[in-house]
Chain A
Amino acid sequence: MSLQGVLPLNGFSGGERLAYRPDHLLVASMVERGSKVLDIGCGDGDLLQLLESRGIDGRGIELSREGVNHCVAKGLAVVQGDADTDLVDYPDDAFDYVILSQTLQATRRPKAVLENLLRIGRRAIVTFPNFGFWRLRLQLLVGGHMPRTDNLPFTWYDTPNIHFCTIKDFVQLCDEIGVKMERAVALDSYGRPLRVAMPWWFWNMFGEQGVFLLTRGERR
């Protein structure tokens, strides 16, 4: 399969397009209305709020108390917790979708987390920074130092991101644990989908983020 080039960001009002991050709009477009969603690492609850405004029953997990506070103030149902340790406590099939947005690379056991996502939810939506992005490659190749960008501003010694991967790596992991990719999208530096149909290596080079809609594969 190849990555999808054209993305339906239609279905959103002008106000929504202004108020929400493009990657959040993209994720929201993947979720069917009326479904039940768990957003892991929900931050200040922006995505959850967008989902709830679209008639989706959303729940969140967030590590930071400040984030939980913001979410609760918005009337969202958010639990302080850790993706690495707390997902095991959620029952099978509890959600229609489980979203892991920009968090996979910060977990201690990404593979276990991914497996849990598709145990708790019938589908999972995973977004992550692509470490194969050309700017990062260039910094390592030419600069000879660990890459830093506006979206990944941390130094190597204080970064929470301990398990970087490329889009290619992620696709391999999905194959390994028998997860089916329903949709895959690469985003540019502004979080906008790349709108050209291209082979994998292109996305792995020019996508700054990967967004994947996953379902359980045959082996499960």
Chain B
Amino acid sequence: MTGLTPKPTSALRTVAPEERSHEVDHPSSLVAQFDATRPLKLDCGIDLAPFQIAYQTYGELNADKSNAVLICHALTGDQHVANRHPVTGKPGWWETLVGPGRPLDPARYFIICSNVIGGCMGSTGPASLNPATGKVWGLDFPIITIPDMVRAQAMLIDHLGIDTLFAVVGGSMGGMQALQWTVAYPQRVFANLAIACATRHSAQNIAFHELGRQAVMADPEWDHGRYADKGTHPHRGLAVARMAAHITYLSDAALHRKFGRRMQDRDLPTFSFDADFQVESYLRYQGSSFVERFDANSYLYLTRAMDYFDIAADHDGALAAAFRGIKTRFCVVSFTSDWLFPTSESRALVHALNASSARVSFAEIETDKGHDAFLLDVPEFFDIASAFLDSAGKARGLKAPKGS
């Protein structure tokens, strides 16, 4: 496509934009196309058509189609759960949980993960081409919500010929989607593993998202979202947004453990605004590596979707009403040092599930790794995830993987 051409002046850029835009429209993963006869009915009132959903699968669907697991990715995740990332070359983002001998073993489950609608790794979003104009959607793309993401996933699951998912699993924004799945399609979810998430986005979290969005919009390169037409990208603004967000994913203790006040490749301060401290250098790296793989407008849309999320508000303010009569087994997990989605949010969910007689387990895992703990090597978390999935698998009549 011609909309994005390389701009060698940007110091942060290391990946050619054609490569990224190629993934946007022609992902290297599987793609499900939905034509004008099958529009995605969005909460904002617009029917989005045509659209496409990019997805990955691992393992085999069994004969009675009872072993399908849908993984929902977080804000900046994508469908590449357990394979090398086509843009960054890094390992899959949840290889700690998904893989041979892991709690979600492809030898046992048929694992599906799709890029959310509004994303930028192959599912239709603001970085995609708008067929009506031949240009990149940009801010002409309709506002999407978490329920919209789930509606699109349900269309994908239909497309794959699967009626009931054995489990929906997700952390953070992925956990929001997992919860929305059970609210929207209670009959189609046997088990629900919702990690480090909430049934609504808190005021503090909306505030952090607004900070990130304003950083993007303050970058002159953003150009009211039309940067793609000029072949640019608001790298600096998006990097600042990522740096601010990244702090919220960690904890004071984790930052101290990792970096303390240690200097970066020097013994004395330079008396300048260089990245003297390791923590500064780390954040700058997080910012610059993020912009290589993520679209700025997509970041605006997905953060907005999280802000709008509030299950209780969709049910006259009564959270328990959303789960009434539900047969799904739930396992809710939180982390002690997570201040973005603190345990109190998980407890509110658990109380609502209890009040509506749902079958729920809940554990708070002790760790200083903050919100990011769900993506990291936290054995206590894997123990509870395995225990829950194995016992639910037994109840569902799934066979144990070979060798276990």
Q: A69-B384, A72-B384, A72-B391 are in contact. Are A77 and B363 (CB under 8 A)?
A: no
Q: Is the CB of B359 within 8 A of A68?
A: no
Q: Is the CB of A69 within 8 A of B363?
A: yes
Q: How many A-B residue pairs have CB under 8 A?
A: 62
Q: How large is the interface on B (under 10, 10 to 19, 20 to 34, 35 or more residues)?
A: 20 to 34
- Choose among B329, B347, B355, B362 the residue with the greatest number of A CB atoms under 10 Å from its CB: B362
A214 to B380, CA, bound (A): 38
* Interface residue B361 (Cβ < 8 Å from any Cβ of A): yes
A interface footprint on B333-363 (CB within 8 Å = 1, 0 otherwise): 0000000000000010011001101011111
A72 to B389, CA, bound (A): 9
The residues of B that contact A81 with a CB separation of less than 8 Å are 347, 362
Quick check: which of A3-11, A86-94, A129-137, A185-193 contacts chain B, the rest being far away?
A86-94
A44 to chain B, nearest CB (A): 12
The residues of A that contact B366 with a CB separation of less than 8 Å are 65
The residues of A that contact B395 with a CB separation of less than 8 Å are 75
**Interface SS of chain A:** mixed
* Interface residue A79 (Cβ < 8 Å from any Cβ of B): yes
- Choose among A36, A68, A74, A79 the residue with the greatest number of B CB atoms under 10 Å from its CB: A79
A:72-113 near B, CB below 8 Å: 72-81, 86, 89-91, 94
Q: Which of A36, A78, A86, A89 contacts B361 (CB 8 A)?
A: A78
Q: Is the CB of A72 within 8 A of B354?
A: no
The residues of A that contact B387 with a CB separation of less than 8 Å are 69, 72-73
Q: Is the CB of A80 within 8 A of B364?
A: yes
Q: Is the CB of B359 within 8 A of A77?
A: yes
A76 to B360, CA, bound (A): 9
Q: Which of A68, A86, A90 contacts B384 (CB 8 A)?
A: A68
Q: Is the CB of A79 within 8 A of B360?
A: yes
The residues of B that contact A123 with a CB separation of less than 8 Å are none
Q: Is the CB of B384 within 8 A of A91?
A: no
B interface footprint on A195-214 (CB within 8 Å = 1, 0 otherwise): 00000000000000000000
Q: Which residue of A lies closest to B391 (CB)?
A: A75
Q: Which of A59, A72, A75, A76 contacts B363 (CB 8 A)?
A: A72
Q: Which residue of B lies closest to A88 (CB)?
A: B351
The residues of B that contact A51 with a CB separation of less than 8 Å are none
* Interface residue B383 (Cβ < 8 Å from any Cβ of A): yes
The residues of B that contact A86 with a CB separation of less than 8 Å are 347
Q: Is the CB of B394 within 8 A of A91?
A: no
Q: A59-B354, A79-B350, A94-B354 are in contact. Are A71 and B365 (CB under 8 A)?
A: no
* Interface residue B166 (Cβ < 8 Å from any Cβ of A): no
A99 to chain B, nearest CB (A): 16
Q: Is the CB of A73 within 8 A of B363?
A: no
Number of interface residues of A (CB under 8 A): 21
Q: Which residue of A lies closest to B359 (CB)?
A: A77
* Interface residue B388 (Cβ < 8 Å from any Cβ of A): yes
The residues of B that contact A79 with a CB separation of less than 8 Å are 350, 354, 360-362
B364 to chain A, nearest CB (A): 6
Q: Which of B329, B361, B391, B392 contacts A68 (CB 8 A)?
A: B361
Q: Is the CB of B362 within 8 A of A80?
A: yes
The residues of A that contact B359 with a CB separation of less than 8 Å are 59, 77
Q: Which residue of B lies closest to A120 (CB)?
A: B354
* Interface residue B240 (Cβ < 8 Å from any Cβ of A): no
Q: Is the CB of B361 within 8 A of A91?
A: no
Q: Is the CB of A89 within 8 A of B351?
A: yes
The residues of B that contact A75 with a CB separation of less than 8 Å are 391-392, 394-395
Q: Is the CB of B360 within 8 A of A69?
A: no
A92 to B391, CA, bound (A): 30
A175 to B66, CA, bound (A): 54
A95 to B354, CA, bound (A): 10
- Choose among B331, B384, B387, B395 the residue with the greatest number of A CB atoms under 10 Å from its CB: B387
Q: Is the CB of A69 within 8 A of B354?
A: no
Q: Which residue of B lies closest to A58 (CB)?
A: B359
Q: A59-B354, A77-B360, A77-B361 are in contact. Are A65 and B390 (CB under 8 A)?
A: no
B22 to chain A, nearest CB (A): 43
B395 to chain A, nearest CB (A): 6
A8 to B290, CA, bound (A): 67
A65 to B380, CA, bound (A): 9
A89 to B354, CA, bound (A): 9
Which 7 residue pairs are nearest across A and B when measured between Cβ atoms? Answer: A75-B391, A73-B387, A79-B362, A72-B387, A77-B359, A89-B351, A72-B361
29 contacts between A and B (CB under 8 A): A59-B354, A59-B360, A65-B365, A65-B380, A68-B361, A68-B362, A69-B363, A69-B380, A69-B383, A71-B361, A72-B361, A72-B384, A72-B387, A72-B388, A73-B390, A73-B391, A75-B394, A77-B359, A77-B360, A77-B361, A78-B362, A79-B350, A79-B362, A80-B363, A81-B362, A89-B347, A90-B354, A91-B355, A94-B357
Apart from A59-B354, A75-B391, A81-B347, what 14 extra A-B contacts exist at CB < 8 Å?
A65-B363, A68-B362, A68-B384, A69-B383, A71-B361, A72-B363, A73-B387, A76-B361, A77-B359, A77-B361, A79-B361, A80-B364, A89-B351, A90-B354
